[in-house]
Amino acid sequence: MSVCCAWRVCGSSCATRCPRRHRYEPEASLKRTRCAAEGRHGTIPGLPEAGPAVISVVVPVHNESPNVPPLVAEIEAALAPCVDELGAYEAVFVDDRSSDDTLAVLQDLARTRPWLTVMAHRNNCGQSAALLTGVRAAKGPLIATLDGDGQNAPADIPALARRWRELQGSGTGPVLIAGWRNKRQDTALRKLSSRIANGVRSSLLGDATPDTGCGLKVFARDDFLALPWFDHVHRFMPALFRRAGGRTESVPVTHRHRTMGKSHYGVHNRLWVGLVDLCGVMWLQRRAKVPVAERVSG
């Protein structure tokens, strides 16, 4: 079995293991270490003290060096004005063994941003494994995810977080708010293939989600960690949340052209793997039993 290890780039090492395809390795240790001057929060003059994170923005990245600085700046611009409403925030970037200087850029940015945590994989493990590493490392009970290519707009996070709170307060069970790129800025071929894939997936899985591939999602940390894990799980989160008795809702979000870097996904490398995983999720759905229980005494 190929094993991918993750560690924090500032502070003591971490023995967190990332799973490879359809394997799950429990984490051995996950101490919190933020990258800041002297390794402590608030030691840089002029930086405000903040309480414990309430919302954690998790961003998997692989060879996204030019996209990282503007994305970090946008996250801060989107969430800093909302601290009184949404609570303190943090960002957890997970470098999936980039071959460019993405990790070095992140380290440099983290030195002056105590709300930024950087995780690094020792091996390339893929987007789902990086997402798992980031959610595990997150301190906030509420998670927002973004793709690292800059096509998702961090400015949409507050609206999704507000909607999550509304739904969570109106019922029980897991809640997933998924971004919906209803005005996609992609090539005609990619838009067509995505439309077909989403249609097939929705028909077979009944996930009631028009755009499962959008990287912008909001959900509770504990709900995500309770899902069955497999490689490419990020493509099937709505179906898995509904399998667990949860609710999903799609909210239109901004989608932008990729202006820097190169896409890591193509039509063919998503098609065949997606078909195999689709069959696996259908198998999980058929065997799901969601108990409805009530307390009768005690």
Pairing of strands 142-145, 217-220: antiparallel
Residues 110, 112, 115: CA angle, nearest 5 degrees: 60
CB within 8 Å of 272: residues ≥ 6 apart: none
CA 256, distance to chain mean position in Å, is 18
What is the count of structural domains for the chain?
Answer: 1
Are 232 and 126 in contact by the 8 Å Cβ rule? The answer is: yes
Low-confidence ranges of the chain (pLDDT < 50): 1-2, 11-49
Tokens of 132: 């798992």
Task: Say whether 261 sits in a helix, a strand or coil.
Answer: coil
Provide the mean pLDDT of the chain. Answer: 79
Name the percent of the chain lying above pLDDT 90: 49
**What does the DSSP assignment read for 83-128?**
HHHH--EEEEEEE---SSSHHHHHHHHHTT-TTEEEEEESS---HH
Q: What interhelical angle do 68-79 and 157-168 show, nearest 10? A: 50
Residue 295 in domain? no
Range of the domain at 11: 4-285
Residue 93 in domain? yes
Residue 148 in domain? yes
Q: What is the pLDDT of residue 130?
A: 96
Task: Say whether 188 sits in a helix, a strand or coil.
Answer: helix
CA distance 149 to 74: 13
pLDDT in tens, 217-254: 999 999 999 998 878 888 888 989 988 889 999 999 99
Residue 116 in domain? yes
Are 79 and 57 in contact by the 8 Å Cβ rule? The answer is: yes
Residue 269 in domain? yes
232: DSSP letter: T
Are 248 and 176 in contact by the 8 Å Cβ rule? The answer is: yes
Domain holding 143: CATH number? 3.90.550.10
Residue carrying the six token digits 């065997």: 287
Q: What is the pLDDT of residue 190?
A: 66
Are 151 and 186 in contact by the 8 Å Cβ rule? The answer is: no
Q: Which of 87, 75, 78 is nearest to 116 (CA)?
A: 75
What are the E-state strand segments in 136-193? 142-145, 175-180
Strand partners, 212: none
Start-to-end C-alpha separation, the chain: 47
Q: What is the pLDDT of residue 181?
A: 84
pLDDT in tens, 106-142: 999 999 999 999 999 999 999 999 999 999 999 999 9
Residue 134 in domain? yes
Tokens of 172: 């029980």
CA distance 22 to 164: 29
Residue 291 in domain? no
CA distance 213 to 184: 12
Residue 296 in domain? no
The predicted model scores a pTM of 0.75
